[in-house]
Structure 1
């Protein structure tokens, strides 16, 4: 995994690194100290990705409102 700061990563890069970290953590072969460090990195990547998604959603809403189509309905969670 590269040491590139999370803020400079694209959404796709952050997601790819997050998936890699999750896979490494799920294997359970890491010492506790390394696991904690990787977990911290995963949290930072998750926050970065969430921020990028929120910004994209905001931009989509603005674009829809500018076109006079203010009928943006929230997606239902399937949880």
Structure 2
């Protein structure tokens, strides 16, 4: 299973890469054509990626809170649709 080998070899996915890999795994599992043993392995990989994403989001949240606390002010910003 070369896709899962890629996950194991790739030590540090970026947040975006982790989300893409999670989407790939979910799509594969949703087909219902994955053998049970492979599905369990894929699910295990997905759970590891979810944990990594959660840790990265928590770190980002802490960093933002620290910046806001250091500056003692919140700067308003506008999100534009073309940013997405």
After TM superposition, the score normalised by the length of structure 2 is 0.77
Write out per-residue CA displacement over residues 21-49 of structure 1, whole angstroms, 9 at most, x where no aligned residue. Answer: 00001111011000000000000000000
- Structure 2 residue runs of 5 or longer lacking an equivalent are 75-84
Aligned to 1:10: 14
Picking from 25, 28, 41, the partner of 1:24 is: 28
Give the RMSD, CA atoms, in angstroms: 1.2
Q: Which has the higher helix share?
A: 2
Structure 1 moving runs of 4+ over 6 Å:
none
Return the TM-score normalized by structure 1.
0.81
Provide the aligned length of Structure 1 versus Structure 2: 68
